Amino acid sequence: MEIVIGLLLSSLSLYCDFTDAECPVISPARLVVKYGDPASSNCSSDTPVEMGWESTQGGTGLTDKEVKFLNWRVDSLTDWNNNPKCYTDGGQCLKQLDITVYKLPDSVSISYRKYPDPMAEGDQYQLQCHVQNIAPIERLRVTFYKVNPTGEQTELDTQQNSMDNIKTPVNGNYILNFTPSRDDDGAQLWCSAMLDLGPEGPKPPPVMKSDDLNIIVHYKPLITMSPERFSMSITEGDTLSLNCSAKGNPAPSYDWLLPQADPNTMEERSVVIITNMAKTHSGNYTCNARNPLGNSIWTVNVKVTGEMDG
Domain with CATH 2.60.40.10 in the chain: 25-101, 107-215, 221-305
Looking at this protein, which amino acid is placed at residue 282?
S
H helices of 244-301, where? none
Give 86's pLDDT tier (boundaries 50, 70, 90): very high
- What pLDDT does residue 8 have? 37
Q: Which CATH code, of 2.70.210.12, 2.60.40.10, 3.40.50.2020, 3.40.980.10, is assigned to 107-215?
A: 2.60.40.10
How many C-beta atoms surround the C-beta of residue 60 within 10 A? 17
Q: What is the mean pLDDT of residues 262-282?
A: 80
CATH code, 221-305 = 2.60.40.10
Q: Which residues pair with 77 in a beta bridge?
A: none
Task: Express each pLDDT in 162-187 by its tens digit.
Answer: 777 889 999 999 999 999 999 999 99
Task: Express each pLDDT in 59-81 by its tens digit.
Answer: 998 998 999 999 999 999 999 99
- What pLDDT does residue 227 have? 67
Judge contact between 82 and 99, C-beta under 8 A: yes
Name the superfamily (CATH) of residues 25-101.
Immunoglobulins (2.60.40.10)
Task: Express each pLDDT in 203-220 by its tens digit.
Answer: 999 999 999 999 999 999
Reply yes or no on whether the pLDDT at 150 is more than 50: yes
Closest CA to 144 of 189, 203, 107, 87: 189
Give the whole-angstrom CA distance, residue 118 versus residue 289: 20
Q: What's the pTM value of the predicted model, to 2 decimals?
A: 0.80
